[in-house]
Amino acid sequence: MKRLLQSKSLALMVLFAGSLAVQAANIPAPKDAEKPKPAIELGAPFADNAILQRQMDLPVWGWSKPGTKVTVAFAGQKKSATTDKDGKWMLKLAPLKASFKPAEMLITESTGKKVTLKNILVGEVWMASGQSNMQWLTAKSVCKDLIVEDKNGVAPIRECKVTNYFAALHPIEHATGVWKNGDYLTYSAIAFAFAHKLYEELGVPIGILNCSFSQTAIQAWTPRVGYIDAKDDYSKALYLKTLETDPSTPEHKAAWDKFYQDIENTIKENAELVKNGKPAKQIPTKTPGNLSGNRDATWLFNARLNPMIPCAIRGAIWNQGYANMGEGLVYYNNLHSLIRGWRKLWDKPELPVYFHQFYCPRVKGGRKHNHPSIGSTAEMRAGTWLARDIPHANMASQIDIEGAIHYQNKAIPGQRLALHALKNQYGKKIVADGPMFKSYKVEGNKLIIEFDHAEGGLVVAETQTNSKSVAVPTVIPNGADKVGLFSLAGEDRIWHPATVKIEGNQAIVTSAGVKAPRGVSYGTGGIGFQPNLYNKALLPTTPFIFYDHKMVTAKEWPHDPIQIAGVVPDPNMGGKVYAYRKMPLLSTQFRDNAVFQSGVPVTIFGSAVHDWGHDADGEAVIKFSFAGVEKTIPVIAGMKRWQVVLPAMKPSAEPKTLKVTFTIDGEVIHERTVKNVVIGDVWYVATPNLNLEIKGNPASKGIIRVMQRKAKGGMAGRARPYSVCVSTTPLNRFASIWADASGSTLALGQRLASKSGNPVGIIIMQGTASVKVPGQKKAKRVPLDLKHWIPNAYLKQAPSLMTDYKQLATINPGNDIYDANAKRYMGDWKKLWGEYIPQLIATKKSARWSPLGTLSVAAECRHHRCLTGLLRHDPLVWSCQLKGNPFPLQRKHV
């Protein structure tokens, strides 16, 4: 496996929980990355069309053979350096003046090699980082309407980014940087709006180092050194994870020795389990350290940002999207770690960093989020606001910007970041902050709020909803009565809608439902385009929520969900009920209108744990009820599955109800009720297609039902009994359902029912696989072979399927093949930590190495559809021989 692939592809280690796999995902690199390498290898920021930082020492670096003298000539300066034992050289040019005149930088080696960088400008350089909303292109936003005129034919705003690497476990330095020269529609929209504002005000070239990538969390952009000095347990835990993937540390040895030992112990335990006729266990695959790919700590920093350091920059900007919105207040800790790490590695303790407060995601149906909130998104915003305590850093609010995941209006957010830079780095006498909560006092039924940054008084405005143009807030004269974002709470802690009266920089808030206010909330549920408070500079008020003069947090507030006057809390939207909403309490086949097999014991089963696999925090109990059978099942530690074996039942079309309840400390956490269950004959029909040309029997009035599988995932190498159970409710779009049969299935069921007179349930074992056709772009769908429907353990009974059995045995425990594969898996990890990673750390560049093997099955064998989950309630499998006349049907034991 390659951690990083050079030139035409990138690689990302993906660790699949529950499967023993380490795989590389190839991602095509931009065409820029395919340009030939220069004769001399230079640091990523040094390429044609670069903009260099003015007015400060300018590091220039690269690599050659050890002991080589390298000379850099630029703007009348000539400086030299000699490469060290690792082949790296670095020198510093003296501070330069801003210049729009394209210049050349000549780099020569004592070996005679040389390279000339062309069209170099000098101005202001800022680094821009974040996830998809920072990466989002100008062409796809309102920023495309921002006009930039060339200066004497020279593009004044340029953008540079690393083009040949995506993510790395440890920092790399050798990377390719490409500067875009005036193709503004391909720039980061937010960074372009930021640079555009600076250019308008400063009149000098503006360079952006674009270090952003989609679907990445803030932890991924944080260097390891950012966590070293952290005082909080959350950040310390992240630091420990990064140590566990550094083979030079004792933390690594301790964590991985335990990981290997746990695998060895499981192999030994499985031998005893199999010997005693019990099912074997999967080996543990939750690896130590920060090995969750692009969302885990340091990965994106290591590959896309570290190669830019120590390029001279004035400061940095940061925009956060959805990846961290579920983490709440710890975003405060994350911002501290991020900025602390950047400053250490740039060796700039006062490096300016400006960041956004999360915007307002669009609400379905256009509803307003006017109620107070202490949910994770609201607390993420609060954590961002609190992080303003970082010296030489500040926040720009975009709470009045509404949109989808990738909102259109990125001009205003980018420009608001620029206001901080213009004020603090360039001495402009402007307002950069919107109003922020300072304090409040209570006078009778009035709660009077005082704000910081409200000089000149508060005003009411709303942001234009036109997403196709640069939206600016529009003042609503005397518009206080239009603001519906305030709430007050009294002694009972129930929040009531409130009205506001504006007097200068104060807001006087009252509510008919609160005679003696103790708490106030503003905009914590989101603001968006609706009327809200601004200062005279038209910068929005930051949301806040306080009670008894202390910030309200979910951890300390007694009510979950928060109580709103006139609103009945939905128990499914908070607490343990919400946490367990995806619990697969019942397995796939147990749905409304199900048909259970008559004449044999039937096993009803499901999961006894949270859908993430962890045990309940408290005394958990499962209560079962069906057809007069009542069971109470205590859930003990380590119990993953519950089951009830029903006695053999007679055929019956009388509807029955199955009810299963999961409680923790007596509270109902999850409940499933399955209605209209009948008892009859269940048939599993394996067929490439169901065009059986069977004539139906209209005289048959019995119940004929078929189970329809709606889940996306249809194939797996091992049994997945809960794979199609539930996402949020039993009625979700991916759940399997029982429905009245039709077409060929109905005709088949009618023939069966006419023989027995019993209700009939049919489960079709049918599917297709995608096969490449030579000479054609589009793959062809072909029916799956019968072998795809045979449970793994029984493949070896057919000599012709022994190869398939061996392939699947590698990932299904309880056999020698699996054990050997598990040991090889450990060996691959040891090779990774013993060979490749030390090389990566030492050279700080990607190295070619052999792919790690995996415990996943071969590609052609991944199409096995494991029916184990469907069959466990019935020890008999019914299969249909469909040669010529479809009858007689034969019963086969499994």
pLDDT at 510: 98
List, run by run, the mean pLDDT of 10-residue segments along the chain (894 residues). Answer: 23 25 30 58 97 98 97 98 96 98 97 96 98 93 90 94 89 95 95 97 98 93 97 97 96 97 96 92 91 86 96 96 88 98 98 94 67 92 97 95 85 96 98 97 98 94 66 88 95 97 96 98 90 94 97 90 84 73 84 93 91 83 96 92 94 96 93 94 78 61 82 61 50 71 86 88 80 83 79 85 89 91 92 91 73 36 28 23 26 26
Per-residue b or e along 786-801, where b marks 16 or more CB atoms closer than 10 Å to that residue's CB? eebbbbbbebeeeeeb
pLDDT at 9: 23
Per-residue b or e along 768-777, where b marks 16 or more CB atoms closer than 10 Å to that residue's CB? ebeeeeeeee
Contacts 24+ apart (CB under 8 A), 807-811: 807/857, 807/858, 807/861, 808/717, 808/718, 808/857, 808/861, 808/864, 810/855, 810/856, 810/857, 811/19, 811/20, 811/717, 811/718, 811/855, 811/856, 811/857
Q: Is the pTM of this model over 0.85?
A: no
685 neighbors 763 (Cβ within 8 angstroms): yes
Q: Measuring CA to CA, which residue among 594, 566, 542, 572 is closest to residue 438?
A: 542
32 neighbors 46 (Cβ within 8 angstroms): no
851 neighbors 3 (Cβ within 8 angstroms): no
Question: What CATH number does the domain located at 577-767+880-893 have?
Answer: 2.60.40.2550
Output the DSSP codes for 788-820. Answer: GGS-GGGGGGSGGGHHHHHHHHTTSSSSHHHHH
* DSSP bridge pairs for 442: 447
Non-local (6+) Cβ contacts of 269 within 8 A are 281
User: What is the β-pairing status of strands 77-82 and 69-74?
Assistant: antiparallel
- Map tokens 């022994």 to a residue: 802
pLDDT at 227: 98
435 neighbors 454 (Cβ within 8 angstroms): yes
Q: Which two tokens stand for residue 92?
A: 């510093």
3 state DSSP class of 686:
strand
**Phi and psi torsions of 193, nearest 5°:** -60, -40
Determine the Cα–Cα distance for residues 609 and 618; give it in Å rounded to an integer.
Answer: 12
pLDDT at 789: 78
- Domain coordinates in residue numbering, the chain: 359-551, 577-767+880-893
Non-local (6+) Cβ contacts of 802 within 8 A are 795, 796
Q: Measuring CA to CA, which residue among 288, 216, 214, 277 is closest to residue 250?
A: 288
pLDDT at 723: 55
Q: Measuring CA to CA, which residue among 700, 722, 696, 709 is closest to residue 764?
A: 709
pLDDT at 875: 21
